[in-house]
Amino acid sequence: MMKNTLFLILVSMTFAGRTQQLLEEISRDNFAIGEPLRVKYIVKTALTDSIAFSEKIDVIQARFKNQNGSLSKKGAEFELIEAFHDTIIVLGKNKKWIGEYTLAAWEDGEYILPGPEIRINDSTYRFANLGVEVRLVASKKDFDLYGIRENYADIPSEPFSPMKFLKRNWWWIAIVAVALLLGWLIARRRRWDRELKSRVDFRPMSLKERTIKAVEALEKSELWNKDQLKEHFVELSYILRSYLTSRYNLSLLDKTTEQTKILLTKQGLNPETVDVIARILSQSDMVKFAKSKPDVIAILRQSTLVKQIIAETSPLDFDNVD
């Protein structure tokens, strides 16, 4: 088992006739209690493929590994110390989805993190399991372990008396006891505060929030400045179609602009909203087929229109949960 590796690519699966790949990356396979552990799950697939992933909240369940390599019935919880986040990167006609957890463990031992499931189009796949070792303290590189030297002393002839020992040393025994108690109370209080904060503040992002973040991430990438104007509009069109597909339970990723317009009209959308959506998709089609080269202002205006469509078609969300 390799130690202190920045990222280990553990497994990849390539499906016949497609560009789909499932990979797992882990920041290290040996870390200390309370030390952050970053785990990435990666999917490389075609640009038009739909991806659905159900992220874990608060904790991830793991299995304890016995010394003989078998899995014990004993389980453990790896705590999420940061909210799960994911992103999509466009790679020409393909795309790469990345989901990342940041975890911490509070009990030493060897564990197996079970691979999560992910849905691509109408099929469900599972990532490989990951093995990690949790130690009481972090291992130190280039640190030599020396032998223990023992010193011996003559035992005094006076028999040991617990009462005399306590009378002579009661003050530092009391200090140590109080220090240990305070340390334990502080550690417990921090753990309670962290658990309470995660229960109160942490919430999954809604469909509206996830989609708007995807549009903003696409804007920040500024693909038009990298001679990738066509890729920008392909991704913008995909984000909008994916959002509408999820919002109205329709299959729009493989539909033409005119077919999309008809289906949305049947859903009862405002005709003006449907017209704006159709204009956005038409503009994307024109750029994809090299018939149009809009300037930066026009590019950003399209992104703004997409975010307005998302806001207008999203229901009032008092709990911020889709």
Write out pLDDT tens, residues 129-141: 888 888 877 555 5
- Please check whether residue 63 is in contact with residue 50, taking contact to mean a CB–CB distance below 8 angstroms: no
Say if 148 falls within a structural domain.
no
DSSP letter at 16?
T
Query: Which pLDDT score is estimated for 97?
Result: 93
Domain boundary among 204, 223, 258: 204
Q: Does pTM top 0.85 for this prediction?
A: no
Q: Which two tokens stand for residue 176?
A: 């140590």
Model confidence pLDDT, tens digit, residues 242-251:
998 898 888 8
Convert 290-313 to b/e letters by CB count within 10 Å (16 or more is b): eeeebeeeebeebbebbbebbeeb
Among 8-12, 43-47, 233-237, which is the least confidently predicted range? 8-12
Q: Is the domain of 282 the same as that of 270?
A: yes
- Does the residue 245 lie in any domain? yes
Task: Give yes or no for a contact between 40 and 53, defined as CB atoms under 8 angstroms apart.
Answer: no
DSSP type of residue 106: S
With 0-12 CB in 10 A as exposed, 13-18 as middle and 19+ as buried, what is 214?
buried
What are residue 126's DSSP bridge partners?
Answer: 117
- Residue 14's pLDDT is 37
- Is pLDDT at 1 greater than 50 in this prediction? no
Chosen domain end from 112, 135, 158 = 135
The total number of structural domains that make up the chain? 3
Judgement on whether residues 255 and 187 belong to the same structural domain of the protein: no
| Angle at which helices 271-288 and 229-248 cross, to 10° | 150
Same domain? For 123 and 196 the reply is: no
Which pLDDT tens digit goes with each residue over 303-313? Answer: 898 899 898 88
| 21 in a structural domain | yes
Same domain (yes/no): 14, 104: yes
How far apart (Å, rounded) are the C-alpha atoms in residues 1 and 33? Answer: 19
Residues 213 and 183 in one domain: no
State the residue range of the domain holding 290.
Answer: 207-313
Q: Across the strands, what pairs with 302?
A: none
